[in-house]
Amino acid sequence: MQVIAATHNKNKVREFKEILSPLGYEVISAEEAGYFDEPDETGETFRDNSLIKARAIYAACHKAAIADDSGLVVDAIGGEPGVYSARYGGLEKNEDRVRLVLDKMKNVPDGERSARFVCAVAFVSADGAETLAQGCSEGYITREPEGENGFGYDPIFYSPELGKTFAQASAEEKNAISHRGRALRKLSEELRVKAIG
């Protein structure tokens, strides 16, 4: 069965393929399906936004669709940037958004800098049935960016599981414990159970 990935990010498409191909799904990108719209992400949660994107593709293309929404949740600043992670503070550049988080956290003591990356994945099957899964990776916010890999907030997110920031980790290390990897593995299990049932 063909599944359209509601993203223009090639790395996400690759991750979707790695998880869903063993279940018999052929994942194609939104571009390959001729879908170029960007639905407004007006949801209040990651789950809401992932569903908005998956439902939009399903409605437009009448095929199974998968979408994710993810971001950084920092406890000391009220859960920000949260669902606004990609457009936090109205800033265009990753480094500017990273600096905004660090500026807001400058007076927060080390023991109170807890944070997590959260990812929600929505799957709409060819018959319109919806499946949701969510994963998270716990850590805390560093004082300064560390590492050259990754993207977004990775340089300021320290993972105790890895003993380093996401930006200091290899792609393999990060994927093993990342929020998106965990959400996709949960989704895979949900779909496997549904297929058996």
Question: What is the set of active-site residues?
Answer: 69
Q: Using alpha carbons only, what angle is made at residue 122 by residues 121 and 128, rounded to the nearest 5 degrees?
A: 165
Q: Which two tokens stand for residue 134?
A: 């969510």
Spatial distance between the Cα atoms of 29 and 65, rounded to a whole number of angstroms: 10
In three-state secondary structure terms, 12 is: helix
CB-based contacts of 24, cutoff 8 Å, min separation 6: 1
Distances 174 to 45, 74, 82 between C-alpha atoms, Å: 24, 19, 20
Considering only CA atoms, which of 107, 94, 113 is closest in space to residue 154?
94
Residue where the block lists tokens 């990754």: 150
The rounded distance, in Å, linking the Cα atoms of 87 and 94 is: 9
Both tokens of 92, joined, read: 């265009």
Report how far residue 177's alpha carbon sits from residue 159's, in angstroms, rounded to the nearest whole number. Answer: 9
* Token pair listed for 89: 């503070």
DSSP code at position 81:
B
